Structure 1
Amino acid sequence: MSAPATETTPSGLVIARIGGVPVVIGASWLLLAAVITFVVGSGSPELGSTAYLLGGVYAVALLVSVLVHEGAHAAAARGVGLPVHRVVADLWGGHTAYDGRLSTPGKAALIAIVGPISNFALGAVAWVASNAVTADIPQRMLFGVAFVNVLLAAFNLLPGLPLDGGQLVDALVWKVTGSRETGLIAAGWTGRVVTVGVLLWFVVRPLVLGHQPSLTSLIWMALVGMFMWQGATAAIRTGQARRMLGRGTVAQVVRPVPVVRAGDVLETTAATGGLAVVVDDRGAPQSLVFPQDAANVPRDRWVSTPVSALARVQPAGWVATTRRDDDLTEVVTAIQESQSPVVVAVDEAGRVLGIATVEAVNAVLEGR
């Protein structure tokens, strides 16, 4: 799966960096590996302990298949000029996080489709290889790899988010309506429909036909259903939130203020009554000076009082990386993450655009 996202610190074991992009194995993948090893091992008693070794090989083969799938997403995103933040393999398979702010319906569709295509290709290679060998264990392994890759590709093409097929629905609706938000909402609803369909087919249908699914199958389908439903619901909510945040732009809520260093004197902030952003030697925002604090300093001492004496260090997450013509998503995210009524906006080069307040954001969203 692929998903537009903002850059965050990878969570898990970074096994490689390809082109600067971290490839991460989430801790939850170990649980998936253990389940696969147990299911395969316990399902082939005629192989003895070798069955569990075969299960471990299947788990690793699935990991490679997922990384090939996600690597294809990452390569496509990089190929169309979108920054890729990370490639992750975890309990739910995997995902590729990239910056989708400059994406288009065509780019989104391309990034989505290459994942399943890569698995179909890998599955075809493994199937041909399985027919070329005669030894039992290698043949089983290769056939298993082929089967898993075809299954992974087909499942991901189901037309609903959070699957790649849902990304295609998103891109199609986005293209037809001209609204990314409408695409997300539509693909989220199809994702819910797909989730219900999957559960009906793999759980309800066998019961109606008089077959009793195993406890393992029921647990696994419950987990898959929960994952798909949550992903679809998140897409709907994201689309609705973006629709609301699209009512305004960063330029409408950002107020330019002086950008000073810790050693500068308070007089440099006189134009805004003592309001300023304090940056470090690299130009990264570190703290704020507020007018109410500056007012406590006698006016004749502003020429000698360093701003560091009044600067207030701000909470983590208070910096929003965005552009003046972007919607308010990044600004609102910074407000929510920092729980601060004031955040600073910077562009992709790290230059300070100004500060944004909760009051300014609310005024724009409410049409005041």
Structure 2
Amino acid sequence: MSAPTDPPAATAPAEADRRGMVRLGRVLGVPVDLSWTWSVIALVIVAMFGPQVHVLFPGLGWGAYGVAFLYAVLLLLSVLVHELAHAASARLFGWPTTRIVLNLWGGHTQFGSFQASPGRSLVTALSGPAANVVLALGGQLLLATAAPGGVAGLLLGIFTYANWLVAAFNALPGLPLDGGRIVESAVWALTGNQDRGTIAAGWAGRGIVVALVAAVVVVPWLQGHRPDIPMILILVMVGYFLWAGASESIRGGRLRLRVPDLAAARLMRPAVGLPADATVADVLARPAGTLVVLVSPAGVPEAVVDEDALAAVPAQDARAVPAAAAARALPAGAVVRAGDAGRPLVDRLAAVDGAEYAVLAPDGTVCGVLRQPDVVEWLTTGRRR
């Protein structure tokens, strides 16, 4: 159970992302995938509640565990409605929904690229808990008016309780929960920067984990109560999900905050361009501390000389061995300008499947090499390698 992906979100998932998934079909035009991890929570629910159902209805025998399995199915349906509410509200704002995934942690809705605002983000996030409140109120109404008995009454009560639980849990004000968008949108509106809001909401999510640990473990321990092992196991699962999601939100927010300061000229390693038919001896004559990019007769960077391979060439063979023999080929289009920076630079790097790029000066000559690890290091830590 989670809020929509932080805009701009990931694009449509590759086929590899569907490994371990079962396509349940489409609802409101949105593909719905069920992860194998859902079976874990289903087994936990059956193991926990099967014996309780057997006590209530001893005549069911092993069927009591089938009823407990229906608990898991009703929870799954509640989560599906929750995620469909996200998708439906996003559609009102023209945000493309790529799929809904139901898994161990509940589920999440994936979106394509879209332009958000604090208000729209908040509305889309809170539509999920709102849908569960509607379902819970409907269940309460049926319980009060129809008053079904037996297994039907038990399942209706569980369905009502599950929706109250899903709504309340997701409304907690911290990412990755839907209520985290309250914090994010408030900080976003105050600062004009969504990423600062995301970071603040991520820290709020971590605070929720600390509060849950205090409520479930610390307070009972101080009161002299024995540990509730099943509750602690649930806390471990939920706490891991929340802490990991909150940490990812913080990391992603910090990364996006650094994007505007990303600049090819700042992160490139100095380099010179040499003709593609240059020899190892020509490379060795380059200015100290610079890399070498081999350039075609048409002026297109083609390869970067590998320093380790260069050192392996015997000195007596330097004039005879072509530099291309000690070079790594550049993918087509692996070229950026020294003035490229910010989001356009990120988009340019993402458009080329490579790990290094030739950097061109304003006059079109090679002036550096930009390496993907250097970019990642800058975006993740704010430091140069």
TM-score (norm 2): 0.69
Correspondence for 1:25 among 16, 34, 49: 34
For residues 36 and 304 of structure 2, what CA distance do their matches in structure 1 show? 47
Map residues 221-240 of structure 1 onto 2, 5 A cutoff.
221-240=235-254
Secondary structure of the equivalent of 1:234?
helix
Deviation at 1:148, TM superposition (A): 0.6
Deviation string, structure 1 residues 170-224 (Cα, Å, up to 9, x no partner)? 1111111001111011001111111101121122222223332432211110111
The residue that corresponds to 1:259 in the other structure is none
The residue that corresponds to 2:220 in the other structure is 206
Secondary structure of the equivalent of 1:169?
helix
Deviation at 1:69, TM superposition (A): 0.4
Query: Is residue 341 from structure 1 mapped to residue 356 from structure 2 by the alignment?
Result: yes
For residues 125 and 191 of structure 2, what CA distance do their matches in structure 1 show? 19
Deviation string, structure 1 residues 253-295 (Cα, Å, up to 9, x no partner)? 9xxxxxxxxxxxxxxx9895245xxxxxxxxxxxxxx2689xx
Q: 1:366 to 1:40 in 2, by over 3 A?
A: closer
For residues 210 and 134 of structure 2, what CA distance do their matches in structure 1 show? 29
Secondary structure of the equivalent of 1:86?
strand
Contact 1:120–1:149 (CA<8 Å) still a contact in 2?
yes
Map residues 141-160 of structure 1 onto 2, 5 A cutoff.
141-160=155-174
Deviation string, structure 1 residues 25-66 (Cα, Å, up to 9, x no partner)? 111001111111111102233224232111111111111100
Q: 1:100 to 1:154 in 2, by over 3 A?
A: farther
Correspondence for 1:84 among 63, 72, 97: 97
Contact 1:246–1:327 (CA<8 Å) still a contact in 2?
no
Letter in 1 for 2:134: A
Query: Is residue 40 from structure 1 mapped to residue 55 from structure 2 by the alignment?
Result: no
Deviation at 1:226, TM superposition (A): 1.2
Deviation string, structure 1 residues 118-168 (Cα, Å, up to 9, x no partner)? 000011112222331332210110010000101110111111111001122
Deviation string, structure 1 residues 97-135 (Cα, Å, up to 9, x no partner)? 113541111111111110000000011112222331332
Query: Is residue 273 from structure 1 mapped to residue 275 from structure 2 by the alignment?
Result: no
For residues 345 and 123 of structure 2, what CA distance do their matches in structure 1 show? 27
Secondary structure of the equivalent of 1:43?
helix
For residues 183 and 73 of structure 1, what CA distance do their matches in structure 2 show? 20
For residues 350 and 232 of structure 2, what CA distance do their matches in structure 1 show? 37
For residues 313 and 211 of structure 1, what CA distance do their matches in structure 2 show? 65
Deviation string, structure 1 residues 57-88 (Cα, Å, up to 9, x no partner)? 11111111001001111111121011212211
Letter in 2 for 1:139: G
Correspondence for 2:176 among 162, 167, 174: 162
The residue that corresponds to 1:353 in the other structure is none
For residues 237 and 54 of structure 2, what CA distance do their matches in structure 1 show? 27
| Range with bigger deviation, 60-69 or 119-128 | 119-128
Secondary structure of the equivalent of 2:355?
coil
Query: Is residue 123 from structure 1 mapped to residue 136 from structure 2 by the alignment?
Result: yes
Contact 1:88–1:94 (CA<8 Å) still a contact in 2?
yes
Contact 2:96–2:114 (CA<8 Å) still a contact in 1?
no
Larger Rg: 2
Contact 2:86–2:128 (CA<8 Å) still a contact in 1?
yes
Deviation at 1:358, TM superposition (A): 3.4
Aligned length: 302
Contact 2:143–2:157 (CA<8 Å) still a contact in 1?
yes
Map residues 173-252 of structure 1 onto 2, 5 A cutoff.
173-248=187-262
Q: 1:41 to 1:15 in 2, by over 3 A?
A: same
Please, which runs of 5 or more residues in structure 2 have no aligned partner?
Answer: 268-294, 306-328, 335-340, 359-368
Map residues 327-338 of structure 1 onto 2, 5 A cutoff.
none
For residues 228 and 298 of structure 2, what CA distance do their matches in structure 1 show? 69
Contact 2:53–2:67 (CA<8 Å) still a contact in 1?
no
For residues 292 and 242 of structure 1, what CA distance do their matches in structure 2 show? 29
The residue that corresponds to 1:53 in the other structure is 66
Please, which runs of 5 or more residues in structure 1 have no aligned partner?
Answer: 254-268, 276-289, 294-311, 319-323, 344-355
